[in-house]
Structure 1
Amino acid sequence: MATKKKAKRKLIAVLVVLAIIAAAGIGYSVYRSTRNAGEKTITVGLVGNADDAIWDAVQKELDNEKAGIKIEKKAFQDGIYANQAQANGELDLTAFQHYAFLNQEKSEKGYKLTAIAETYISPLNLYSKKYKSLKDFKSGDKVAIPNNATNTGRALKVLDAAGLIKLKDNTKTNPTVDDIAENPSGIDIELNDPASIINLLPDYAAGITNTNFIIDAGMSADDALYQAPIDTNNKSFKPYINIIVARSDQKDNADYQKVVKAYHTKSVADAINENYKGAVVPVFKY
């Protein structure tokens, strides 16, 4: 009889413990739901996944500040579609383009989008899986460059700086192939989708594309055959500084400014430097 009573007491004790655990679990779920309900989700359009670590650092800063903001990253293959989605109200912010690209998009499509912060400057470099030196290029070699107007111009400036071509005016903001004065190397320049250029390298002599696509492909800026020098104090680089963009009627949104404040911190600058191994240069003060 005593044994039965003892077993019964143990069973009751176990049930009490289970009830406490269940109550705690329910309490935490209610707390989490309440906390999440108070959070504001801000969707940020990116191109590729190269900046994920940077935006994770931004989220950490927001959490440390108890800002009540959750960043939701949405990756696009092409910035044209990201801008379209933002203009249609599907995104709150974008963070993939520079001033020149944004201004071109606004001019062509009438988007009411505004830069609310600067992030970093990313060079376009020349990559090759065929050659080790600029001296190796020969007449008829195919070189792929981006097909959007602003990056076409930047890529032509890289080829000019590398000595493969000579532009009529290398200070022009957006030169085109019609602005090529001389082609001493005899290369054939072909315009391609920036995201596809890395995959073309086995068949092309070389290619120029954005650093984020290089990172996404598991490569490094150090793999470049030719790296264009960066000078953040040079005003000619201003059009190519990357920016965070909002719809114009939301440019003063208080929550967006919290995101900017979180981005413009040392920890995010460190994340940029670590993520891009010095190939991308933060331009903000912190």
Structure 2
Amino acid sequence: MATTNTKKKAKIQLFAVLIAAVVVILVIAGFTFAQKASAKNETVVTVGVVGNSDDLIWDAVQKKLDSENANIKISLKTFQDGIYTNQALANKELDLTAFQHYAFLEQEEKEKGYDFTVIGDSYISPLNLYSKKYKSVDEFKPGDKIAIPSNASNTGRALKVLDSAGLIKLKDPNAASPTVDDIAENPSGVQIELNDAAAIINLLPDYAGGITNTNFIIDAGMKTSDAIYQVPDALNNKAFKEYINVIVARTADKDNATYKKIVDAYHSKEVAKAINDNYKGEVEPAFKY
């Protein structure tokens, strides 16, 4: 009799365990289904960037969107060159880009016939003069080589930096995208050579100096404070207004409500703080917050 009761109890216990297991499985399945359902309702927006220097900034944008229950997921796609990033946007491989300034965008639209529209300003990123040979612009000697970016918009900006530093004099420092032909005087006697912007930092110290974009400086493990010359108050300098970075969409999508929410999230005090923290105050938010 005891053995029979024991068997019955064992069966009951086994049945209870099976029931509990089924409940757990149903709960897990329900949770997974809810997750999938939520994911289906989430709008994924792919943003093209160059390098990884802005990752923390976009993390802050995502957190802001999440705090507002916007149900928008930002997916960053990284490129090594802005030309290919714009091609991807034109080919609808991206929804937005966030890497270029007005001058580069205008150059690309003129050369490639792109139909893009700026939907928001982001920040102004300095284009500074770096050297592993000198600590001051006063040390440059006639014949010293300075590498500057070869793409037209950043060539012009680099020439404006050299003009601001007093190494050369441009015919009109406020002109859009000047070229080497617009150099009126070269009191320092430096030789200016055009190179790929991403490669410039690696050319030092073979070159006496180099000017390149902040994202390449950060990716190389350096800081903008390592520069031997920075243009003062570039955000409010008329000659550098065209170098404010922007968020860009295809013109057909410029009024997209989801994209507007992303720009609004970007133009928040939380993201402005992330920009200041990420770049240690050396990159300025170009929006009110």
Q: Same fold by TM-score, threshold 0.5 exceeded? A: yes
Report the CA distance between 1:16 and its aligned residue: 3.6
- Of 137, 146, 165, which aligns to 1:134? 137
Q: Structure 1: give runs of 5+ residues left out of the alignment.
A: none
Q: Quick check: 1:285 aligned with 2:266?
A: no
- Of 257, 261, 265, which aligns to 1:262? 265
Report the CA distance between 1:81 and its aligned residue: 0.8
- Of 83, 86, 90, which aligns to 1:83? 86
Aligned equivalents of 2:162 and 2:236: distance in 1? 22
> Corresponding residue for 1:97?
100
The 1:177–1:162 alpha-carbon spacing in structure 2 relative to 1, beyond 3 Å, is: same
TM-score calculated relative to the size of structure 2: 0.93
Report the CA distance between 1:107 and its aligned residue: 1.1
> Corresponding residue for 1:213?
216
Q: Quick check: 1:67 aligned with 2:73?
A: no
Aligned equivalents of 2:241 and 2:143: distance in 1? 34
Report the CA distance between 1:171 and its aligned residue: 1.9
**For structure 1, which segment, 92-101 or 236-245, has the greater mean C-alpha deviation from structure 2 after superposition?**
236-245
Q: Quick check: 1:46 aligned with 2:38?
A: no
Report the CA distance between 1:100 and its aligned residue: 1.0
Structure 1 or 2, whichever has the larger Rg, is 2
> Corresponding residue for 1:164?
167
> Corresponding residue for 1:109?
112
Helix, strand or coil at the partner of 2:114? coil
> Corresponding residue for 2:26?
23
Contact 1:123 1:230 in 2 (8 A): no
Report the CA distance between 1:76 and its aligned residue: 0.9
Aligned equivalents of 1:89 and 1:262: distance in 2? 23
Contact 2:65 2:72 in 1 (8 A): yes
Q: Structure 2: give runs of 5+ residues left out of the alignment.
A: none
> Corresponding residue for 1:200?
203
Contact 2:174 2:238 in 1 (8 A): no
The 1:132–1:235 alpha-carbon spacing in structure 2 relative to 1, beyond 3 Å, is: closer
- Of 273, 278, 281, which aligns to 1:275? 278
Q: Quick check: 1:222 aligned with 2:225?
A: yes
Helix, strand or coil at the partner of 1:279? coil
Give CA deviations for 1:116-163 in whole Å, capped at 9, x if unaligned: 111111111011122222222222222111111111011011111112
Identity, % of aligned positions: 67
Aligned pairs, number = 286
Aligned equivalents of 1:266 and 1:170: distance in 2? 33
The 1:233–1:169 alpha-carbon spacing in structure 2 relative to 1, beyond 3 Å, is: closer
Helix, strand or coil at the partner of 2:155? helix
Contact 2:126 2:234 in 1 (8 A): no
Give CA deviations for 1:198-250 in whole Å, capped at 9, x if unaligned: 11123221111111111111111111111111243444432111111010111
- Of 193, 209, 212, which aligns to 1:190? 193
Give CA deviations for 1:161-194 in whole Å, capped at 9, x if unaligned: 1122222222222111111222222222111111
Helix, strand or coil at the partner of 2:154? helix
Q: Quick check: 1:120 aligned with 2:138?
A: no
Aligned equivalents of 1:84 and 1:144: distance in 2? 26
Aligned equivalents of 1:170 and 1:238: distance in 2? 12
Aligned equivalents of 2:171 and 2:257: distance in 1? 46
CA root-mean-square deviation: 1.7
Aligned equivalents of 2:222 and 2:7: distance in 1? 70
| Amino acid paired to 1:82 | T
TM-score calculated relative to the size of structure 1: 0.94
Helix, strand or coil at the partner of 2:73? strand
